[in-house]
Amino acid sequence: MALTKITDDPAQIRLYHITHIDNLASIISSRALLSLHQMEQAGIQPRSIAYSHLQERRDAITIPIAPGGDLHDYVPWSFAARSPMLYTAWRGALGNDVRQSDIVHLVSDVRKVRELQLPFIFTDGHPLSSELTTFFDRIDALPSTLDWDVLCAHVWRNTEEDADRKRRRQAEFLIHGAVPWSLVKGIAVQSESMRDRAASLLGMSTHQPKVALLPEWYY
């Protein structure tokens, strides 16, 4: 299955949020994906799949447009599967406790965000690259803002001809505050064992996203 869907219709643009399988039970029981600040306020300690130094930097980035705040006031979504952060897990840079196979993709689209009237912004590249990346709130600008060639590419590393590919591959769709569990339309996993585990966790949920085995979304 393709890593994303090329479209001129903002509503059809797909959104991807990766998280450790250990976090799925908390998401289901809370009936929401929470921003990091909201998880801290609720006393929830998620299983992290991120570099700690990058998390500190995200906490220090002030959003220049409404609804403001910092990056940890938002739930981050990417625009394609097989993200650079997943690559980091695959090569073991996050330690032995974070394996690529334990990470699941939660999948939705912009249409669901608009249906639920959730506040959002988006970027044209990695939000930590503040000198290059721009923040937007006009949804009609979204399709032309994204670099579809880079998003669809299995190989996204920088090249001599284009030293900005990785930044553009890490553009984000940022939803402010809490994201209802009902926004998630599907869950993609790498292995049959993770598919079975995710399906088991969904047994406690009234909302039942489809769980799909998609190893091509992994490294």
Residues acting as catalytic residues: 58, 172
Q: Which of 69, 83, 61, 182 is nearest to 120 (CA)?
A: 69
- Spatial separation of the C-alpha atoms in residues 68 and 64, rounded to whole Å: 6
Give CA angle at 36 (82, 112), nearest 5°: 60
Are the beta carbons of 171 and 146 closer than 8 angstroms?
Answer: yes
- Spatial separation of the C-alpha atoms in residues 126 and 124, rounded to whole Å: 7
Residue 80's Cβ-side half-sphere holds a number of Cα atoms within 13 Å equal to 30
